[in-house]
Structure 1
Amino acid sequence: MIQIDYAEYDAIHSEDFVFDIPNGHDCWLLLLTQTPAIFLVDGECRKYPPNCAILYRPGQRIYYRACEESYANDWIRFYTDESYVTTAPLPCGVPFVIHDPSYCHNIYRLLVTEHILNNNFKDISVDHLLRILFNKLLESYNYKAVSPLFLDLNQLKLDIYHNPNKEWTVSKMAERLNISIGYLEDIYKNTFGVSCMNDVINSRINLAKKYLVYHNYTIAEIVTLCGYSNIEHFFRQFKKITGLTPNQFRKSPYQLCKKS
């Protein structure tokens, strides 16, 4: 069970802000920083970059302060006996970098909304949101060789899947990130386990399947809508990924979708 004591996002404090609770809270505290800050870790005050998370268990000393003109964070204070929190393999009292801060920030906004509105299914919603948040924190904490371009790569992947029909090429993607083609291919594959051009192909075939199932476009129209200039090239890639021709896929969409 989760019981939120207090939650806030985009909390902003002045440059003289200090938060010092020697005996800690009687509940859990989870912070997501938006600015650099100084934290007391192992008896020493250390400066940490923005977009860090830090989890304090009940009764643990809490000390952090601003180190620039202002300090901003998202934070939640809560009670729980859920094992995904109490036994989470996360360090308590030690900040670590979050590799998808905007995603986590959006979860905080939803948690605050649920806490304030107090809807009928608030407890279930809060539990699910907090589980997702802890999953994202675990992903960040366990992510080892993170590229400095991690956020840019994430945005590139999202743009590929949001706009499959664009004229994606490795050279254009590399130019967008201001890196060499070879370096892009290496870090993209290391980050996502698939090459950037294979992601382009996958995004286009996913879009084609949606058009085949839910729209009445002709195959020729779908080829153009999915960013292909050659219908034979589209047929080859579609069959390689799905094992079916577009026409075969369209004839039994609900049965065939399960196979692809």
Structure 2
Amino acid sequence: MKYSGIVELGTKQEAKSMFYTYAVGIDSRHRKDEIVYHYEKRQHYILIYTRTTAQFQIDDEEIPVKKGTLLLISPDKRASYTGVWEGYCDDWINFYDPDNQLANFRIPINKPVSLQENIPVSQYMQLMMNAFHSGMAQRDNVLSQLMMAFFTLIDNYLNSSLPQIAHYQKLLELREEIYANPARPWSIQELADQVSLSPAYFQDLYKKAFQVSCGADIIQSRIGQAKRMLAQTNLTMEEIADRCGYNSPVHFSRQFRKCTGYAPSKWRENALGENMVVTDHG
């Protein structure tokens, strides 16, 4: 079977109470009719994160799996999987656990775990792929620590008493759009419509997700933009007000003073005099 993005170490490393990464695959793609097999009595675990829907079989159990599912397959299990309506794609890691460190984590083995979109599984696997390629002297230690951090993240996600926030990924994308376009005349109704929620429910979820109201975040995005323009350009107050979504310099100046404690002209004077580092907050 040919995989994309694979690197392998031909032999197992000496055990030192660590996870040992044997092979890594990122964005591995297979045809719809292609079946991936893993035989039992291996020495390594297989960690799989699905990027498409798939049909798994672990020993004799048929398991339909949706996109965004994590599976941890133990060495004693036979496994096979294939795409359902399209070609199959996943990220995966083969690793050794010589001292049974997985026992320290409350993560199901040989059972699918559906994850929310905001859990950075692929990002962690990309970090592990980069470390695997690096050739650094402490590569095995780094990989083991990344595995520890990853399993801790998944354990906390699965067992946290905090409620998971619905629509988090869509809310995060909207927040990024707000900060990328502070001059846009945003309204709560428009934003709520983009995620098909009522304005009240949208505002409630937004505050739970980011610990700030959506309205306050819109203002903060504009003030952050204004700070950068004051410190880094020669634009007039009228021009800055317009580019930050304010209809008048008076409204801009009033809100800027309320958020920062300074008039825009005074803030510019201080920023230029002190080489101030500009951020979106504070």
TM-score of the pair, normalised by structure 2: 0.69
Aligned residue in 2 for 1:227: 245
Aligned residue in 2 for 1:156: 174
| Residue 192 (structure 2) pairs with residue 186 (structure 1) | no
- Could you list the runs of 5+ residues in structure 2 that have no partner in the other structure? 1-17
| Residue 84 (structure 2) pairs with residue 68 (structure 1) | yes
| Residue 210 (structure 2) pairs with residue 176 (structure 1) | no
Aligned residue in 2 for 1:144: 163
Aligned residue in 2 for 1:201: 219
Q: What is the one-letter code of the residue matched to 2:69?
A: C
Number of residue-to-residue matches in the alignment: 257
| Residue 22 (structure 2) pairs with residue 5 (structure 1) | yes
Aligned residue in 1 for 2:67: 50
Displacement of 1:197 = 1.9
State the identity %: 26
Show CA shifts across 1:126-172 (max 9, x none): 6786677557646754463332x333222111111222222211122
Q: Tell me the distance in 2 between the aligned counterparts of 1:215 and 1:123.
A: 48
Q: Tell me the distance in 2 between the aligned counterparts of 1:172 and 1:112.
A: 40
Q: 1:20 to 1:77 in 2, by over 3 A?
A: closer
Displacement of 1:85 = 7.6
Q: Tell me the distance in 2 between the aligned counterparts of 1:131 and 1:244.
A: 46
Q: What is the one-letter code of the residue matched to 1:158?
A: E
Q: What is the one-letter code of the residue matched to 2:245?
A: G
Aligned structure 1 segments of 4 or more residues deviating by more than 6 angstroms: 40-43, 119-125, 255-259
Displacement of 1:254 = 5.2
Q: 1:131 to 1:257 in 2, by over 3 A?
A: farther
User: Does the 8 Å CA contact 1:35/1:71 hold for their aligned counterparts?
Assistant: yes
Displacement of 1:46 = 3.4
Displacement of 1:33 = 0.6
Rg comparison, structure with higher value: 2
Q: Tell me the distance in 1 between the aligned counterparts of 2:141 and 2:251.
A: 47
- Could you list the runs of 5+ residues in structure 1 that have no partner in the other structure? none
Displacement of 1:27 = 4.2
Aligned residue in 1 for 2:115: 98
CA RMSD between the two structures: 4.0
Q: Tell me the distance in 2 between the aligned counterparts of 1:64 and 1:249.
A: 63
User: Does the 8 Å CA contact 1:35/1:50 hold for their aligned counterparts?
Assistant: yes
Q: Which has the higher helix share?
A: 1
User: Does the 8 Å CA contact 1:97/1:140 hold for their aligned counterparts?
Assistant: no
Q: 1:90 to 1:163 in 2, by over 3 A?
A: farther
